[in-house]
């Protein structure tokens, strides 16, 4: 009878060790899930940035006169919120359409990205000595390029649970 109680105690220790090892595995799995969630959110933000950049490039290609007159150039996106006009009714000038596009795009930046900042700088007429005025009613290229930079805050992926935000930047040179 004495042997049987020893065997019973050994089984209890084996079960406790198995629970301990299983618990350590679960803690590691929880850390992996947190890291996967952060990586998934970072990928989501980068997808949004790509979408927003393409959206503004498409808007700009629809308004070549506004682009090459410098109406989209700004180092302070998102621009101040205001009434987004020029959507209905009378025709807009290229400058009015550029202002309309800037405000819509700025609203999208604020909605989809944390702490957004962006710049757009188009060089063409003065920078390369090319005057596109004779070709503005045709399709591009015009001989100039635009540089777009979008930055946003992203939570750092790492070992620690409470790390500071890191500023990420997307830079793109394109021809609208």
Give the dihedral of Cα atoms 130, 135, 136, 139; nearest 10 deg.
Answer: -110
Looking at residue 62, its pLDDT comes to 87
Say if pTM beats, i.e. exceeds, 0.85: no
Number of H helices, E strands in the chain: 4, 4
Looking at residue 90, its pLDDT comes to 72
Rounded to an integer, what is the distance from CA 116 to the centroid of its chain? 8
Domain presence at residue 11? no
Domain presence at residue 169? yes
For β-strands 117-123 and 145-155, DSSP reports them as antiparallel
- Its domain, for residue 104, covers 45-174
Q: Which positions of the chain have pLDDT values less than 70?
A: 1-10, 83-85, 87-89, 124-143, 156-164
Domain presence at residue 118? yes
């Amino acid at each position: 009878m004495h042997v049987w109680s020893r065997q019973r105690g050994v089984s209890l220790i084996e079960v406790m060790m198995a629970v301990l090892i299983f618990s350590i595995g679960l803690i590691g799995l929880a850390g992996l899930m947190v890291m996967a969630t952060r990586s998934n959110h970072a990928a989501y933000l980068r997808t949004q940035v790509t979408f927003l950049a393409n959206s503004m490039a498409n808007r700009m290609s629809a308004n070549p006169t506004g682009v090459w007159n410098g109406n989209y150039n700004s180092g302070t996106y998102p621009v101040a919120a205001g009434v987004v006009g020029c959507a209905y009714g009378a025709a807009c000038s290229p400058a009015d359409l550029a202002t309309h596009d800037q405000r819509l795009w700025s609203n999208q930046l604020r909605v989809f990205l944390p702490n957004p900042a962006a710049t757009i700088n188009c060089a063409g007429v003065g920078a390369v000595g090319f005057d596109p005025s004779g070709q503005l009613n045709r399709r591009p290229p015009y001989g100039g390029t635009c540089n777009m930079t979008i930055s946003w805050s992203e939570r750092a992926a790492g070992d620690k649970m409470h790390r500071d935000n890191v500023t990420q930047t997307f830079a793109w040179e394109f021809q609208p």
